Amino acid sequence: MHKIISGIQQMGIGVPNVPEIWKWYRTFFGVNVKLFEDAAEAPLMTRYTGDKVHSRTATLALSMDGGGGFEIWQYTSRGTEKPSFDVKMGDLGLYACRIKSRNIEKSYNYFKMNGADIQGELAERPDGGKHFFVKDPNGNLFDIVEGLDWFSNTNHPSYCGAVAGTMIGVSDIDASLKLYADVLGYSKIVYDKTDSFDDFAPIDGGKSKFRRVLLGHPEKRKGPFAELLGSTEIELIQCLDRSDCKKIFENRYWGDWGFIHLCFDIQGMDILKADCEKAGFPFTVDSGNTFDMGEAGGRFSYIEDPDGTWLEFVETHKVPVMKKWGWYINLKNRNPEKNLPKWMLKAMGFNKVRD
């Protein structure tokens, strides 16, 4: 067997208010399918939570239009800490979450008409693709981009699907490529540009000079959930004229306010572990076997990129399809390269939360 990276499973988002912010995400992004909701302690994460076991609630929400989901995460044993400084473009870490749109102009108009905090106007990135930035009510930045592919069409009024990638602030793009391109398979360079960029200008810190590299994966992803998760892109941004770029999670815990991790759905965890170690990115957390998330289960692990940004890997073993009928998918004995049948993935839509 070899490692299989099926796509971005979810973006972890630390919040102080799960019910409120999830309603906003349902309204604007259509992530209205609840795959699981789990309240428990997080004993395996003490490395990143001050050597103390803390309690939390975690909700995994998906969109049947396709894309990665959100793991909406809230401490229940402590408050959720904000950064002690105003985060600027070029600071290090998961800076913006990419959301895909099937009609970027109509998405922009929907956000505008519904009072979203849009940052600037509809603009073009270096390859000509149209996009716009918006902040959620907690101040997290989202980059709405033209979707590369779709799983189904739920006719959501925002024309959005779910997670299509991310924008990551790094201190040295060439060092970061050794992980994102060489290990994680984002080896297709869509563009590599150095300049001051008009589409960044409305963002705090965005008028600086940047090197920005947009990465895609040259081949279609494989694996049980690949068709649902879809194609994704990672944009690395390096600020070239600031010497004071800070780590977004400096002096804070994993799970605090903001984008806490980027999670990849994978198969072949032991092979991936060996590849990461060989490349200089050893696992810092490893559940070692099936970790129970209440309604789902799997093995999970973490690494850090060269700037300490947290990346999670999940090898899913069990996932609910229709919980009220006790229907779960066991993935342990399936061909790891094979997509789950589309009808089976669509059946997860029965877990939709209706507003």
> Domain locations in the chain?
4-351
| Stretch 103-126: mean pLDDT | 97
Kind and range of the H or E element at 258? strand 258-267
CB 245 within 8 A of CB 79: no
113: left (phi over 0), alpha (psi -120 to 50) or beta: alpha
| Stretch 244-266: mean pLDDT | 97
Residue 332 reports pLDDT greater than 90: no
Residue 29 reports pLDDT greater than 90: yes
What per-residue confidence (pLDDT) applies to 320?
Answer: 62
Can you give the C-alpha Rg of the chain in angstroms? 19
User: What is the per-residue pLDDT across 60-75, written as a single tens digit (0 to 9) for each?
Assistant: 999 999 999 999 999 9
The sign of the CA dihedral 192, 194, 196, 200 is positive
Is the pLDDT higher at 144 or at 219? 144
The residue count for the chain: 355
CB 36 within 8 A of CB 295: yes
What's the rounded Cα separation, in Å, for the pair 196 and 237?
A: 12
What per-residue confidence (pLDDT) applies to 2?
Answer: 81
| Stretch 272-297: mean pLDDT | 82
What per-residue confidence (pLDDT) applies to 321?
Answer: 63
Show the CA angle centred on residue 304, arms to residues 210 and 293, nearest 5°: 125
Q: Where are the alpha helices (DSSP H) in 72-209?
A: 104-113, 173-180
Residue 216 reports pLDDT greater than 70: yes
Q: Report the mean per-residue pLDDT for the chain.
A: 93
CATH number given to 4-351: 3.10.180.10
Is the pLDDT higher at 342 or at 143? 143
What per-residue confidence (pLDDT) applies to 276?
Answer: 97
Q: Is 104 helix (H, G, I), strand (E, B) or coil?
A: helix
What's the rounded Cα separation, in Å, for the pair 93 and 106?
A: 30
User: What is the per-residue pLDDT across 151-189, written as a single tens digit (0 to 9) for each?
Assistant: 999 999 999 999 999 999 999 999 999 999 999 999 999
What per-residue confidence (pLDDT) applies to 36?
Answer: 82
CB 67 within 8 A of CB 164: yes
Who contacts 320 (Cβ-Cβ below 8 Å, separation ≥6)? 35, 36, 295, 296, 327, 328, 329, 348, 351
| Stretch 339-349: mean pLDDT | 85
Q: Is 243 helix (H, G, I), strand (E, B) or coil?
A: coil
What per-residue confidence (pLDDT) applies to 337?
Answer: 82
Is the pLDDT higher at 325 or at 224? 224
What per-residue confidence (pLDDT) applies to 292?
Answer: 53
Residue 82 reports pLDDT greater than 80: yes
What's the rounded Cα separation, in Å, for the pair 249 and 340?
A: 36
SS3 content of the chain, % helix, strand, coil (to 5): 20, 40, 40
Residue type, 202: P
Residue 329 reports pLDDT greater than 90: no
Q: How confident is the model at residue 28 (pLDDT cuts 50, 70, 90)?
A: very high
Residue 259 reports pLDDT greater than 60: yes
112-150 burial, b at 16+ Cβ within 10 Å, e below that, comes to eeeebebbeebbebeeebbbbbbebebebbbbbbbbbee
Is the pLDDT higher at 347 or at 230? 230
| Stretch 32-59: mean pLDDT | 92
Q: Locate 163 and state its tokens.
A: 């997670």
What per-residue confidence (pLDDT) applies to 255?
Answer: 97
Q: Locate 77 and state its tokens.
A: 């044993």
Q: What is the DSSP string of 292-338?
A: E-SS-EEEEEEEE-TT--EEEEEEEEEEEEEGGGTEEEE-TTS-TTS
What per-residue confidence (pLDDT) applies to 336?
Answer: 79
Prediction pTM value: 0.95
Q: How confident is the model at residue 93 (pLDDT cuts 50, 70, 90)?
A: very high
What's the rounded Cα separation, in Å, for the pair 118 and 162?
A: 18
| Stretch 88-116: mean pLDDT | 98
What's the rounded Cα separation, in Å, for the pair 165 and 8?
A: 7
What per-residue confidence (pLDDT) applies to 351?
Answer: 82
